[in-house]
């Protein structure tokens, strides 16, 4: 089974917020990405609202045909947004105001109780819950008891993989030239990719950028 692609449209909103305009519209980008073959859309509503805004999440809920995956911290403010909008899935991620992008996975050993509490509320509302974790056996092991709190999936942080050839490199994501081995891992269900696709879209357009990524994943027709 070929892994599905969920396109993260955060950086369409980053470009918009640079001038506080109404364009480019991340919802329009989401529609184009799905028409190009994306199985779903991911958006990260950050506490500082640096890119995606609450209104974007609301409009995405009405526009996305596939799975809408909302990335967010476990803060109470974020939980209230998710419970109001009801995306198909929430992926809980750690968040620091000063970070450029999400820098690592959740610490399930230290914060299991807090995460479990949020997960239970989301699951009770019919929202699938996934957790963003580092490829650390201890963190993977800590996922097991959280199944009882409604956690149904997890996403592995691929940062170490993308920087394997140069640990000092400022790489934080999958690209067409490195996605193949990850997509080919047995049991890999879905890849959430944003920055590279949106950056490539500046040159070739979103439709072409999504199709290029799908081809690189082995899912191109």
Map residue 152 onto helix, strand or coil: strand
Which residues, at least 6 apart from 29, have a Cβ–Cβ distance to it below 8 Å? 9, 12, 198, 201, 206
Please, which residues bridge with residue 5 across strands? 191
Q: Which of 44, 95, 171, 212 is catalytic?
A: 44
Q: Is 44 a catalytic residue?
A: yes
The closest of 201, 216, 193 to 32, measured between CA atoms, is 201
Q: Angle of helix 195-204 relative to helix 10-17, nearest 10 degrees?
A: 60
Residue 86 has which token pair? 């009801």
Q: Which of 28, 58, 103, 172 is catalytic?
A: 172
Task: Compute CA 96 distance to the chain's CA centroid, rounded to the nearest angstrom.
Answer: 16
Q: Is 71 a catalytic residue?
A: yes
For residue 92, cis peptide bond before it (omega within 30 degrees of 0): no
Sign of CA dihedral 52, 198, 106, 120: positive
Q: Which of 71, 95, 190, 212 is catalytic?
A: 71
Task: Compute CA 92 distance to the chain's CA centroid, rounded to the nearest angstrom.
Answer: 10
Residue 50 has which token pair? 């640096």
Separation CA 42–CA 33 (nearest Å): 11
> Catalytic site residues?
44, 71, 172
């Amino acid at each position: 089974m070929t892994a599905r692609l969920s396109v993260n449209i955060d950086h369409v909103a980053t470009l918009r917020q640079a001038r506080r305009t109404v364009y480019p519209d991340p919802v329009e980008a989401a529609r184009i990405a799905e028409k190009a073959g994306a199985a779903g859309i991911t958006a990260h509503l950050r506490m500082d609202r640096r890119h995606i805004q609450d209104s974007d999440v609301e409009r995405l809920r009405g526009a996305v045909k596939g799975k809408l995956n909302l990335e967010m911290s476990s803060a109470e403010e974020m939980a209230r947004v998710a419970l109001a909008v009801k995306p198909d899935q929430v992926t809980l991620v750690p968040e620091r105001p000063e970070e450029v992008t999400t820098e690592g996975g959740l610490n399930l050993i230290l914060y299991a109780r807090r995460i479990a509490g949020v997960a239970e509320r989301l699951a009770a509302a019919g929202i699938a819950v996934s957790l963003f974790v580092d490829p650390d056996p201890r963190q993977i092991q800590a996922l097991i008891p959280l199944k009882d709190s409604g956690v149904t999936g997890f996403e592995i942080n691929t940062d170490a993989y993308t920087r394997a050839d140069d640990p000092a490199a400022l790489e934080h994501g999958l690209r067409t030239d490195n996605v193949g081995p990850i997509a080919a891992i047995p049991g890999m269900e879905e890849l959430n990719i944003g920055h590279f696709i949106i950056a490539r879209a500046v040159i070739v357009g979103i439709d072409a950028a999504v199709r290029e990524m799908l081809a690189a994943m082995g899912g191109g027709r």
